[in-house]
Chain A
Amino acid sequence: MVSLIIQRTLQLVFLLFGISFLVFSSMHIAPGNPAAVIGGPTATASDIEAIEDNLGLNDPFLTQYARYVGNAVQGDFGYSYQTTQPVADAIMVRFPNTLKLAVASMIVAVIIGILTGLISALRQNSWLDVSATTFALAGISIPNFWLGALLILVFAVNLQWLPVGGMSSPWYTIDGIKELVLPAITLGTGSAAMIARMARSSMLEVIRADYVRTARAKGVKEKNVIWIHTLKNAMIPIITIIGLNFGFLLGGTIITEKVFAINGVGRLMIDAIAARDFPMVQGSVLLVATLFVLVNLLVDIIYTYIDPRIKYD
């Protein structure tokens, strides 16, 4: 276990170097000049030149990259070209919102997904199974922006049970929970559908295994057969899907954040890309990459609990 963590941490360092170089170079290769965006359409050539000088954009590419990395290893991720605010501050203000949203939608996704998958597998080919599979298909197919807008119209505008958008209250208060409900359902539905499909197929596979038949033959109660012998063994692929989805959600969910006016990392990143705000893009991508690696590490560790045969040492 310890060696796994050390190994992953070392990998992370190399990964971050690689990613930072890729992002840095792709932002420089991409068309569009940050100085022109700051100046806007009204800026003259001299305005733009002055801004470029000020941002150090006229230095050679490698000088700029070395400067960036030199500062970053000391914990200084630079300042936003647009707002002149420290990148780390800008990200840390938004990350809690993204994390809240990711956790809330994963809760929705895991509960709905596993229950649906389980029922569907245990009642294979029944009307319950057909409804659950239809739900899963719909969940994957419905675009987030449409579902979000629909939920807003029904629950916020017409019924007025929940707020339209925003995320300003602490998550443990009633207002905070109310703010999370619609975005979490919007975002969680897609993941729930994926988890449900995976849970169904994985359960169906395990339920036919010899040891399950043996357990039943030995007279083990059906409840125990399902919860202890089947579900736990079916969890490996489900956990993989949950981990991947969670990692993905932590990277910010641009559409849901936009529809529900949530000040999250996804919106920060997309705005930064549009404005060619290189330091901000760089900082956000590094954060997302780190989180993705950590979540995957967590998933690997959870495997060892679910299936003690898996060992890393």
Chain B
Amino acid sequence: MKKHWLVLLAFFGILILSACSESTIPEGAEGTSGGDSSSSGEGGQEIIYASTTDAVGLSPIMTNDSVSSSVTEQVYEKLFVRNPETMEIEPMLAESYETPDDLTWVISLKEDIEFQDGTPFNAEAVKYTFDKLRDPETAAPRASLLEPIDEITVVDENTVEIKTKYPYGPLLAALSHSNAAIVSPTADQEQDLMQEPVGTGPFKFASWSIGDQVVLEKNEDYWGGAPELDRVVFKVVPETSTAISMLQTGEVNFLDALPTEQISRIESIDNVEVTKQDGTPVYYLTFNHSKDRNQDPDFRKAVASAIDRDAFVANLNDLGVRSDSILGPQVFGYDESADTAGTAYDLDMAKQLVEENGYGDEPIKLLSANRDNFILMAEIVQSQLTEAGFTVEIETMEWATFLDTARSGEYDLTFLSWSNVTGDGSEMLYPNFHSDNIGASNRAQYNNPEFDKLVEASRTSIDQEERESILNEANQLMLAEDAAIVMYHGVVTSATDESIQGLQMDPNGQWSLYNVTRE
């Protein structure tokens, strides 16, 4: 008997030890080369960025989350890019463009550019990428980005012609979206870009230890000149407070999207620089417009006038910008006049409306996702609405359930947000409020034919000045109707080790490491 157990014990012991020793193979199962997470790097300049989740994948075509795009933005490039300072759209891989008619965009491409695998960047690569993104068989999460495109034709080696189904004003904005980055056709056919990306960008893929870190290294042959940084590590640190401790000890050098409640702790750390910049994201309270009660303009006015948004923004430690406008100050289509075009906070009026119409009799279901500042918004709004006489019940749920519940309209009021990567007003109003998207991204179930027409006009005009004016009109129409109540516009933040210079933040929260140096 004793021998038996000894043999078995030894067997289990060996099992445990062998499993332990598996971890000594650095990221072997992924076929990656692994990496050293020390901040000293391997002799060259290195930066370690921490994010709370891992990238979903490294193909711009197949992903639609901010962490993946943080990586893909360094590896791939787009035809156009929005200048973060002027907010104008400028050519990137494109050289210039012309629009011979409302449906045709002829884009000349920069010459003598190669992908990191040596494949030439040309009109074929552009056509390949966009056709792949649009192909229903690809099932790309943002296939709809290029939905207005009818056909892409290669005119010559460095010229591509895009025909749209209808005049499409935001086309350049769509082409500046991270999902429209150009991939190497050769690499896409030979390997899985989700695991091993190949673009034209300043950094090329080195390794990915899934769930732990992605490592990029400098692209010595980058067409714009090699970057100063030799190595970039995207490290997964799920707990923000741990990431801040790591920033403090130098285990990481760069964090972004700093949470409101931690900002004062981060600012108090020596040798760490915090930057804040007005951004494109917007956070708003919306009505479920398919519900009868929410179609009563006085009900919406009562809700809007009961919410003290100034007081709420004051709680955000400078991480929110106050404006009634649904299109924020950094978004194309914004006009200053919209800042105060919504219903102002007026508790007396709210109380009066609630009392006169008996709005407090039936409880309101306030739905909230349990992430970011949503719970904070829900609690404050619940207390303010209660003060005005409403009866409010908060229902919180995790993200996946929330997306489904809001999409199917099972709520009275809810909070939504939109990061608006393209920074274009049509890209905010169309998906979120146009009746075409009810049952999908129009979670407010907003259905207003007059508004729909304005949004369609903003999309089908290619005269940018005209588009700006139409977008403002649509924005003001929603505000006049109290269709949605903007809680705040986001502020894009970063915390970096003070040795880091040249980090360029975009108002949409993305950033480029191309010009970064460490001193």
Contact = CB atoms under 8 A, between A and B. Distances in A.
A271 B140 contact: no
Interface string A29-48: 01111101111111111111
Contact of B399 (A39, A94, A274, A304): A274
Given A156-B249, A261-B236, A47 B142 contact: yes
B57 A95 contact: no
A43 B12 contact: no
Interface stretch (B1-9, B157-165, B341-349, B378-386): B1-9
Interface of B: 1-2, 4-5, 8-9, 12, 16, 19-24, 26-27, 29-30, 35-37, 53-54, 56-57, 62, 64-65, 136-144, 147, 192, 194-195, 209-212, 235-239, 241-243, 245-246, 248-249, 251, 397-401, 403-405, 407, 416-418, 431, 437, 439-441, 443
A261 B238 contact: yes
A124 interface: no
A218 to B, nearest CB: 26
B474 to A, nearest CB: 19
Contacts of B141: 38-40, 42-43, 47, 51
Contacts of A119: none
A82 B56 contact: yes
Main secondary structure of the interface of A (DSSP, over half): helix
Interface in A241-299: 257-261, 263, 267-268, 271, 274-276, 294, 298
Given A42-B441, A258-B238, A97 B23 contact: yes
Interface of A: 1, 30-34, 36-48, 50-51, 53-54, 82-85, 89-90, 92-97, 99-100, 103, 149, 152-153, 156-157, 160, 163-168, 170-172, 257-261, 263, 267-268, 271, 274-276, 294, 298, 301-302, 304-305, 308
A92 B440 contact: no
Contacts of A165: 237, 242, 245-246, 251
A38 B140 CA distance: 9
A235 to B, nearest CB: 14
A95 B16 CA distance: 11
Nearest to B369: A41
A304 B1 contact: yes
B269 to A, nearest CB: 10
Contacts of A275: 400
Contacts of B30: 89, 93
Contacts of B56: 38, 82-83
A171 B2 contact: no
Contacts of A166: 37, 212, 235, 251
B1 A258 contact: no
Name which of A53, A93, A152 has the most chain B CB atoms within 10 A of its CB: A93
A37 B400 contact: yes
A47 B403 contact: no
Name which of A38, A257, A267, A276 has the most chain B CB atoms within 10 A of its CB: A38
A83 B194 contact: yes
B501 to A, nearest CB: 25
A103 to B, nearest CB: 6
Given A42-B64, A164-B245, A171-B24, A47 B140 contact: yes
Given A39-B64, A41-B417, A275-B400, 4 more contacts: A38-B64, A44-B431, A90-B211, A165-B237
Contact of A263 (B21, B211, B248, B417): B211
Contacts of A267: 211, 238
Nearest to B50: A261
Contacts of A50: 136, 138-140, 143
A84 B405 CA distance: 26
7 contacts: A40-B141, A50-B143, A96-B19, A164-B251, A301-B9, A305-B5, A308-B1
A103 B16 contact: yes
A36 B400 contact: yes
A44 B437 contact: yes
B57 A83 contact: yes
Contacts of B26: 168
A309 to B, nearest CB: 11
A54 B139 contact: yes
Contact of A156 (B20, B21, B139, B245): B245
Contacts of A170: 21, 23-24
Contacts of A31: 397, 400-401, 404-405
A304 B1 CA distance: 8
Contacts of A42: 64, 141-142, 431, 441
A33 B30 CA distance: 28
Given A156-B245, A171-B23, A92 B29 contact: yes
A191 to B, nearest CB: 17
B403 A37 contact: yes
B29 A263 contact: no
B48 to A, nearest CB: 10
A53 B139 contact: yes
Contacts of B243: 261
A172 B20 CA distance: 10
Contacts of A298: 8-9, 12
Given A157-B249, A305-B2, A308-B1, A103 B144 contact: no
Contacts of A168: 26, 35-37, 212
A110 B24 CA distance: 25
Contact of A45 (B1, B142, B440): B440
Contacts of A1: 1, 4-5, 8
A258 B29 CA distance: 22
A94 B212 CA distance: 9
A301 B16 contact: no
